Amino acid sequence: MNASAHEEFLYELFSEGTDIPGYYRLKRCLIDFEAVKSSVISVLDAGCGGGAKCIYLARCNPALEIVGIDVNQFALNHAENLRRKYGLSNVRFSMKDLAKHLDPEMFDFVIVSDVLEHVENDRQFAANIDRMLNARGFVHINVPSREHDYDFSKLTPPEQGDLRQWMKDIGHVRLGYTPDGLTSLFPGYEVITMKKVGNCCCKLAYFLWEKAICDPQRKKPAELEQEYKFPFVEYIDLLIRKYFVKDKTFSPPHSRSMNKRMFLQAIRTIDLGIELETKGLLGNRYLLEEEICCLLRKPL
């Protein structure tokens, strides 16, 4: 399987193929950004993590001025290393807590992706974003949907306990959001798009990443095996054992090419899933709607 020059860039950008969720978040963000980019000069990634979205936007849009902020200095160090690697002068990174700190800079487009569910005082966070957004500026938000599997009313008591522990382990402070809950954080904003997103193709790509990178003992997702009955799910364990290098401290000569191959399969699966979902070509049985993705516009 041959990678294009762009895919080679993505492979390096997303930690040599290990950050499939990062690629998924980028794809969701780009749909909103591309729709309004003619009105955008400055971008803030509020909770940029390792900086992949910032680096991608900066490299593909040299006229943009981009700032990434996060509370994790280790992640920001990684972001700065990427900036230097690609020789980018139109992006910079800073350690700040937007739940507390108010920056006087103003932006046209603010990214809040996979962040709000980690913030205790989300209303203060949203208020600070509002103060940093130019009039008629845009905010892209991606969060877990409260009305998906995380709804306690759909879970047994043991499952509720598992969910609480899972939330604690990954740093979530709430189950998720509803569309009304998001718009209440930004009163008066125009809703450009507000969608529940997620589909079985992206779920499969995620599972491949989680299985290979995070938890080799992870079981096959029941909804893929039982509800969708994908014939190739049963082969994932064999594929992982045969090809994927789980021990990052040891890299046999073939490991990079095989890891890249799996990364390419995963991102192409995500591309396909998002394209089919966006065009309305997936039936309801293949839509998971586990997240909410929205684009809001600040009033004058």
Alpha-carbon distances, residue 157 vs 22, 152, 219, 290 (angstroms)? 32, 9, 21, 21
Q: Which of 82-96, 173-187, 238-252 has the lowest mean pLDDT?
A: 238-252
Which two structure tokens, joined as six digits, stand for 84?
């230097």
Span 206-216, pLDDT tens digits = 776 665 555 55
Instruction: Identify the residue whose tokens are 């004058």.
Output: 300
Least confident span in 47-56, 79-88, 168-177, 266-275:
168-177
Best-predicted range by mean pLDDT among 104-108, 110-114, 150-154? 110-114
Q: Which residues pair with 181 in a beta bridge?
A: none
Which CA distances in Å does 9 have to 65, 85, 254? 21, 12, 20
Q: Which pLDDT does position 293 carry in this prediction?
A: 97
User: Tokens 């997103």 label which residue?
Assistant: 197
Between residues 55 and 173, the one the model is more confident about: 55
Mean pLDDT in the chain? 84
Can you tell me the mean pLDDT for 48-53? 96
Task: Tell me what percent of the residues of the chain surpass a pLDDT of 70.
Answer: 81
Asked if residue 187 lies in contact with residue 297, where contact means CB atoms within 8 angstroms, the answer is: no
Higher pLDDT, 217 or 117: 117
CATH of domain 22-198+287-297: 3.40.50.150
Across the range 257-262, mean pLDDT stands at: 70
Q: How far is it, in rounded angstroms, from Cα 55 to Cα 180? A: 32
Average pLDDT over residues 231-235: 50
State residue 212's pLDDT score: 58
Q: Are 174 and 231 in contact (CB under 8 A)?
A: no
d(Cα 93, Cα 111) in Å, to the nearest integer? 14
The closest of 55, 134, 48, 52 to 96, measured between CA atoms, is 48
State the span(s) of the chain assigned CATH 3.40.50.150.
22-198+287-297
Q: Is the pLDDT of residue 234 over 60?
A: no
- Tens-place pLDDT, residues 95-106: 999 988 777 889
Global pTM reads 0.85
Chain mean position to CA 49: 10
pLDDT of residue 65: 98
Smallest CA-to-CA distance from 293 within 113, 126, 162 is with 113
Q: Tell whether the model's pLDDT for residue 25 goes beyond 60.
A: yes
Answer whether residue 153 shows pLDDT above 80: no
Three-class HEC string of the chain: CCCCHHHHHHHHHCCCCCCHHHHHHHHHHHHHHHHHHHHCCEEEEECCCCCHHHHHHHHHCCCCEEEEEECCHHHHHHHHHHHHHCCCCCEEEEECCCCCCCCCCCEEEEEEECCHHHCCCHHHHHHHHHHHEEEEEEEEEEEEECCCCCCHHHCCHHHHHHHHHHHHHHCCCCCCECHHHHHHHCCCCEEEEEEEEEEHHHHHHHHHHHHHHHCCCCCCCHHHHHHHCCCCHHHHHHHHHHHCCCCCCCCCCCHHHHHHHHHHHHHHHHHHHHHHHHCCCCCHHHEEEEEEEEEEECCC
Which is more confidently placed, 118 or 224? Answer: 118
